[in-house]
Each structure stands twice: as structure tokens, then as C-alpha cells.
Amino acid sequence: MIGIGQFFLRFRNAIFPIAILAAVLLAGPRYSFGGQIADWYVDVLGVAIVLAGQALRVITIGYEYIRRGGRDGRVYANELVQGGLFAHCRNPLYVGNILMVSGFLVVIGAGWLMAVGLPCVILIYSAIVAAEE
């Protein structure tokens, strides 16, 4: 698990955008629940989830200065961050990232993609946390 986490920590800035693009291309456009109106509501829900994830990230960074979680593609920290939201949640930035990916998956609208994608993202972030700890 630690080796997987180190890999994803090193390449996450490239892998996640490529994975979202691949998800869009694999799923293709479709209406959620078979109609344009339902699709609009589902898209609004998905965008709201993405914005909630981004808001959590902004609030987290706004309350506590954080050195980047890695240096030269490796796990690095000069101290454990314990202030701001980190006082209540060990990984609020990762929770925000998971919310953002979840929102994108909702907008894409493929149930099978949500069933596969979300557990994969949670597994990847669990591995990154294992590597960091």
C-alpha cells in the first residue's frame, strides 16, 4: 500500500486530470434518468459537490499554512500540521479532492463509472495517506 501511495503522490497532478478525461471519453454524453430536465438537476448537484470540495480546500488552506505534501516527488514535511481544519480532520484537503472527483463523476452521469471510480479514488488516497504516515 505504501509503494502505491508513493507512486500516486509523485504523479497525482498528472494522473487525476488524465483519469477524469478518460472517464468523460469512456462514459460519453447521456441524459441522467433519460431526460434533459433530470440531467440538468443532476448536473447542478454534481457541480455543487465539486464546489463544496473546492470550498473545503480553500478554507483548509486559508486557516493554516501548509507546506506542499511532497518534495521532488517524494513524501516530505518538516512538521505535522495541527491547526485550522487539520485539528479536526487529518486530511481535509484529500476529503475536498474526493468530493471534487465525486462531483465530476455525478456530472458525467454513468452509474458504472461512479461504482468503479469512487472506490478507486478512495483507495488511492488511502494509499497516499499510508505513504505519508
* pLDDT tens, residue by residue, 52-110: 999 999 999 887 766 655 566 666 666 777 778 888 888 898 999 999 999 999 988 88
The reported pLDDT for the residue numbered 67 is 64
Tell me what pLDDT residue 77 has.
Answer: 65
Quick check: 86 and 77 in contact, CB under 8 A? Answer: no
Residue located via cell numbers 474526493: 98
DSSP 8-state class, residue 34: G
- pLDDT more than 90, % of the chain: 34
| Residue 6, C-beta contacts closer than 8 angstroms, at least 6 positions apart | 74, 75, 131
Q: What is the pTM of this model?
A: 0.83
Q: Could you give the 3-state DSSP secondary structure of residue 75? A: strand
Instruction: Identify which of 77, 60, 75 has the alpha carbon closest to the alpha carbon of residue 7.
Output: 75
